[in-house]
Amino acid sequence: MKITISALIIFCLSTISVFAQNNYSINGSVADTASNAQLTNSTVMVLAAKDSMLQKFTRVSNGTFAMNNLKKGKFILMVTYPGYADYVDRFTLDSAHTTHDFGRIKMILKSQLLAEVIIKAKVAAVKIKGDTTEFNAAAFTVQPNSKVEDLLKQLPGIQVDKDGKITAQGQTVSKVLVDGEEFFGDDPTLVTKNLRADMVDKVQLYDKKSDQAAFTGIDDGVKNKTINIKLKEDKKNGYFGKLDAEGGTDGYYQEQAMFNRFKGKQKFSAYGTIGNTGKVGLGWDDNSKYGGTGLQVSDDGGFYFYGGGGDDLDSFSGRYNGQGIPLARSGGLHYDTKWNNDKETLNTNYKIGSLNVDGSKNTLTQNNLPGTFITSNNDQTFHNHMFRQKLDATYTVKLDTSSNLKIAVDGTIKSSITDDKYNTRSLRGNDTLLNTNNRSVLNNTDQKIFNANILYTKKFKKVGRTFSVNINEALNQNETKGFLKSEIDYYNIGGGLDSMRKIDQYKTTLTHTSVLNTNITYSEPFTKTFAVIVNYGLGINNGRSDRRSFNQAAPGEYTLLDSSLSNNFKLNQLSNQFGAVFNYKKNKTIVNFGTKVSVVDFKQIDEFTNNTITRNFVNWNPQASFQYKFSQQQTFSLNYNGNTTQPTINQIQPVIVNTDPLNITLGNPDLKPSFTNRLSFYYYSYKVLSSQSIYLNGSYSRTMNPIVSNVVTDSAGASTYQSSNLKNKQTSNFYFNTGFGQKLFKTDINGGINLGANGNTFYNLTNNLLNETKSYTYTAQLRFSVYKQKKYDFWTSAGPTYTVNSSSLQQQVNNNGRGFNAYGGFNIYLPGKFQISSDANYQYNAATQAFSEDFKRTTLNANISKSFLKDESLKLSISGNDLLNQNTGYSRTGSTNFLTQERYTTIRRYFMLSLVWDFNHMGGGTPKK
């Protein structure tokens, strides 16, 4: 084979070119800043600037280092040495700079970091420490007197919605701690909306394990996404607070005050709010603050009692969901302290609050029946009131170096009033009048709740061997008294009045529950990588449910007991739970598997008839999980759990409830338990330098022998509901969410996309015919945000939705619907300490076959403010809420064989003048004025 001269020249040139591509190098030396001693064996790494991927590394020899054969591009140099702060610097290699001499790199001891700074290294914005992502607050700039919420909005991977609800890494944040401690417990917004951002040193994000898992070190699958706000040391002495006075048009107002005193290891806080704008006195989880549910015992298949009037009378849960006009009053005290060399701690809270909600609602319902349907139009006016007080305290003591004792108690007193009036008109499928119903419900509820918990933990000399005892006592007393008045007119096919039915009754409900649960847990490591945790639990549940209905013996005298609508049950339950969970952990892999089994003896005694129902059953709860950490910033987990669900007492007991005479519920004593298999996964990846985050999570479940609703609707439009098991079908439920976000190109704009899907397949029996309903919702969302210190910030998100609703009984009806949602806002900072801000929300739902009208709503809010004083601690604002006056209350849902559309009273356009003063005196300096 001949090689021509030209081919040889080309080969030589290409070879030179290849070598030239890698003919880049760096060099330098590493020494201690103070002593100038050489730090031999320091690690020197070269990372790609775009994704922080490792390119090359070497060790320092004789105080110097050198790397050859590097490619051209943008890189990051990182130098590490035990006991010293990491050194980070950026550099570029190209045709003009084929080598880079770093000279003498001086490393600083970590102990000296408080006094010295590495000039060349930028402040590390994010650090990954094990399972914790830590954000350095100093790396993010916020406006003067900004709150923690404003800081959180800038942190990569964290989103805060307009109500203050926080989402991090695709999951909802359920707890916000301050220096690792509860701060007003069940209302995170008291931290995020009131704590000053300039007090924050670090923001830590992690999955908080259960007390048991944190103690044993064996993952039990219980995790809550948690944010811990670490305060600066100099901000832990002094006081700060806020006074806010606001008055507006159409009678709207809101006032709030908060005072916080920090002194070393003691914290004291007090707050008070009042307002009818829906913005004060209401955190992101109103139910936790004002209502809460009653006792629920589900792990052992026990009985359920809910707060309020139960099934006999409508009740108010204490939740404001945007329907009606709220008047919220709330106040609270918080105190926590540590003493005895931090061996003893006390955390206590007292909260008091009331909530009034008044309004009206129109509900349009389509009830799909075999071959036809019924449409109902219901007008409702409501007045709801709840008053609540709660006191809680947690005491923790370190008994010795290996054992701890934690005692927690809380007590709640609640009272509520519900006053509802309904006017309903129902039509047959051919638009002929079927029935009309005028109904009113008035009731008063008083509830007392007490909980006590004792947890003792001990660690033995062998690492991983632990013992713990947990004892919990829960007491709940609920008393309801009220009136039900109803008048129904039934019409024949020709539209003529056929018959009438009137109800005028006085009803009482009295429930008591006492639940004692104990759990003994022991963990034993077989090897360094494999361990087991075993537990035994004893549960004793006793309760009484006394519900009575009285008819009139004379006007105003309700003394005639209606035995068909009354019952008095005693409930006794004894459960024994055994469990064993195995845990394998090595390198990047964690595998967890095991099961819990509960043997339950259940006894129900009817005090009226002396009839006794006994049930003995076994509940299985298998579980398994797999977790793999590709790196500290990238993890994947797969989880399985199965659970037995026992029917509730309200589903079992054969008692007629006539609260709504057109919708009667019956019990079914022959119900059997159902079993659900659930598979879920989670993936998260985060790249520190590019602020790129990716998450995926989803779940799929199937329920065998499901408990479904059996609905029989007669020719007059009255429906009777009774639960029953469906043996040959399985219900299913799924959801999937994914998100991607990062800074766009070389700008300060953060961009991202979220995709989601959720759906279910359910079954019910309608007039003894099987009805399969499917409901699927698909969403997509683009989001962008940008922040420029002292100039502007902007955020927006928008995307379409599509919902599929189908019923096997009405296959010819198409109720699929499309929609679009968008949200955005901006702040512009002007000279003279002026600020202009605005936000808008757009919602669109297209018409469907069942609902013939499109729904469009744009809510636009705006604000102009001016700050005063040197530190801008005094602010005067004028704001406008719902400037376009389009905030119409609206929702559309589908379930089983019902499609429902609601329109309701809600807060609309008003203008507000406000004066806010943020004051503080921290760190022992002179007070700011």
DSSP secondary structure of 251-309: G-EEEEEEEEEEETTEEEEEEEEEESSSSSS--S-HHHHH-----B--TTS--B--STT
Q: Could you tell me which of 234, 247, 236, 131 has the C-alpha nearest to residue 181?
A: 236
The tally of CA atoms less than 13 A away on the side-chain side of residue 308 is 23
Least confident of 297-301, 478-482, 811-815, 871-875: 297-301
Structure tokens at 645: 């669900």
| pLDDT for residue 2 | 45
**Any residues with CB less than 8 A from the CB of 715 and at least 6 apart, and which?**
none
pLDDT tops 80 at residue 644: yes
**Any residues with CB less than 8 A from the CB of 526 and at least 6 apart, and which?**
532
Q: Tell me the average pLDDT across 76-97.
A: 83
| pLDDT for residue 348 | 93
Q: What is the pLDDT of residues 155-210, one digit of tens each?
A: 877 877 766 778 776 677 878 888 877 766 556 777 777 777 888 888 888 777 76
* Pairing state between β 253-263 and 266-275: antiparallel
Q: What are the backbone dihedrals phi and psi of residue 72, each rounded to the nearest 5 degrees, phi first? A: -80, 155
Least confident of 82-96, 328-342, 611-625, 730-744: 82-96
Pick the more confident residue, 774 or 216: 774
pLDDT tops 70 at residue 9: no
| pLDDT for residue 702 | 96
Q: What is the pLDDT of residues 213-229, one digit of tens each?
A: 666 666 555 677 888 88
| pLDDT for residue 816 | 85
| pLDDT for residue 798 | 96
pLDDT tops 70 at residue 618: yes
| pLDDT for residue 806 | 83
Q: How far apart are CA 276 and CA 907, in angstroms?
A: 9
| pLDDT for residue 557 | 92
pLDDT tops 50 at residue 310: no
Do the Cβ atoms of 330 and 320 come closer than 8 Å?
no
| pLDDT for residue 107 | 84
Q: What is the pLDDT of residues 883-901, one digit of tens each?
A: 999 988 888 776 656 778 8
pLDDT tops 50 at residue 133: yes
For the chain, what is the mean pLDDT? 83
- The three-state secondary structure class of 10 is helix
Q: Could you tell me which of 747, 649, 634 has the C-alpha nearest to residue 305?
A: 649
| pLDDT for residue 220 | 55
| pLDDT for residue 688 | 64
DSSP at 809: G
| pLDDT for residue 248 | 95
Helix or strand (DSSP H, E) at 13: helix 5-21
Is the Cα dihedral 276, 279, 282, 284 positive or negative? Answer: positive
Report the chain's C-alpha Rg in angstroms: 32
State percent of the chain over pLDDT 90.
39
Q: What is the pLDDT of residues 256-282, one digit of tens each?
A: 998 988 888 888 989 899 999 987 665
| pLDDT for residue 257 | 92
Beta bridge partners of 367: 374, 898
Write the Ramachandran bin of 152: left for phi over 0, alpha for psi from -120 to 50, otherwise beta: alpha
- The three-state secondary structure class of 720 is strand
| pLDDT for residue 684 | 85
| pLDDT for residue 378 | 94
Q: How far apart are CA 5 and CA 686, in angstroms?
A: 53
Strand positions, DSSP E, 460-588: 466-491, 497-525, 530-554, 557-561, 567-586
| pLDDT for residue 130 | 63
Return the number of other C-beta atoms located less than 10 Å from residue 517's C-beta.
21
| pLDDT for residue 642 | 93
pLDDT tops 80 at residue 143: no
Do the Cβ atoms of 684 and 170 come closer than 8 Å?
yes
| pLDDT for residue 367 | 82
pLDDT tops 90 at residue 387: yes
Q: How far apart are CA 139 and CA 141, in angstroms?
A: 7
pLDDT tops 70 at residue 12: no
pLDDT tops 60 at residue 16: no
pLDDT tops 70 at residue 693: yes
pLDDT tops 60 at residue 300: no
| pLDDT for residue 290 | 31
pLDDT tops 70 at residue 108: yes
Q: What is the pLDDT of residues 538-568, one digit of tens each?
A: 999 998 888 899 999 999 899 999 988 888 8
pLDDT tops 60 at residue 24: yes
Pick the more confident residue, 587 or 141: 587
pLDDT tops 80 at residue 729: yes
Q: What are the backbone dihedrals phi and psi of residue 21, each rounded to the nearest 5 degrees, phi first? A: -60, -30
- The three-state secondary structure class of 19 is helix
pLDDT tops 80 at residue 578: yes
pLDDT tops 50 at residue 295: no
Task: Measure the CA angle with vertex 196, ends 233 and 223; round to 5°.
Answer: 80
pLDDT tops 60 at residue 304: no
pLDDT tops 50 at residue 305: no
Q: Tell me the average pLDDT across 816-823.
A: 92
pLDDT tops 60 at residue 288: no
53 confidence band (pLDDT: 50, 70, 90): confident
Q: What is the pLDDT of residues 201-211, one digit of tens each?
A: 888 887 777 66
Beta bridge partners of 579: 535, 596
User: pTM higher than 0.85, yes or no?
Assistant: no
| pLDDT for residue 211 | 67
DSSP at 84: B
Q: What is the pLDDT of residues 451-476, one digit of tens each?
A: 999 999 999 988 889 999 999 999 99
| pLDDT for residue 344 | 95
Chain Cα centroid distance, residue 239? 30
